[in-house]
Structure 1
């Protein structure tokens, strides 16, 4: 059996923070504001995986009210999420994500982001595809106030009991 999940996240850009996307630090004069490192791409991936497995969302597993997750490197969350879904009998077939950002230009970083995410889940890097686009100057993202990401994940059951 296969199952699909969708994840979405958006965070405000703030001066004085590092910009982390897909586990990679991207050179930029602003970073994303949040309880963790605010990596919208990884957060969207976590939600896509959890949704496909029928396991809720990132806030259910790592609430922003819990001080243990203050400033956490979101790749650690993705590693934990993937372990949890594997324990429930699922494996990643593929993941496709889009990052919405007016700036910075993300094309030079996409391959490293995909590799970092694949490595933390111990999956083939070819199973993860990352795209980036602007919003042509429209809205919160177009004004440079924030960055968003959307991700879809396809899981396949590895045990007969998975997905029940």
Structure 2
């Protein structure tokens, strides 16, 4: 059995916060505003994993009303989500993600992000593909007001099927 999940997240850019994407701190004059570190890439990945497993969304598992998750390093949430996925007999086949940001340029960080995210799930980083694009100046993201990410995952059952 295989299952597909899709995740999306967006947060506003503000001064005075670190910019964390894919678990990596990116040098930039603004960071993402949120209850946790607001890592849109990791949040989108968590939602994609949870969706593929039929387990709801990140807000159900880690509500922003819970002070335990205040300023939480989202990569730790990804580790926990993946542990929960595995406990359901599922494993990551691959993840494909896109970050939407007018700035900063993210090319130099894509591999580091994939390695960090893969490490948090104890999977080969080659199972994770990260892309970055702009919105060509259109909308709030194009004006530099925020950053968004979208992620799709494919999970497979780790339980043997009949005949194996």
Which of the five TM-score ranges fits, normalised by the shorter chain? over 0.9
The 1-side partners of 2:66 and 2:35 are apart by 9
1:53-107 CA deviation, whole Å, 9 max, x = no partner? 0000000000000000000000000000000000000000000000000000000
User: What is the aligned partner in structure 2 of residue 150 from structure 1?
Assistant: 150
**By how many angstroms is 1:40 displaced?**
0.0
User: What is the aligned partner in structure 1 of residue 141 from structure 2?
Assistant: 141
User: What is the aligned partner in structure 2 of residue 74 from structure 1?
Assistant: 74
Superposition RMSD in Å:
0.9
**1:43 and 2:43 correspond:** yes
The 2-side partners of 1:78 and 1:95 are apart by 13
The 2-side partners of 1:24 and 1:155 are apart by 24
With structure 1 as the length reference, what TM-score do the two structures score?
A: 0.97
Give structure 1 stretches of 5+ with no counterpart: none
The 1-side partners of 2:99 and 2:146 are apart by 11
1:110-149 CA deviation, whole Å, 9 max, x = no partner? 0000000000000001000000000000000000000000
User: What is the aligned partner in structure 2 of residue 108 from structure 1?
Assistant: 108
**1:95 and 2:74 correspond:** no
SS in 2 for 1:153: strand
SS in 1 for 2:155: strand
Q: Which runs of 4+ in 1 moved over 4 A?
A: none
With structure 2 as the length reference, what TM-score do the two structures score?
A: 0.97
**Equivalent residue pairs, number:** 161
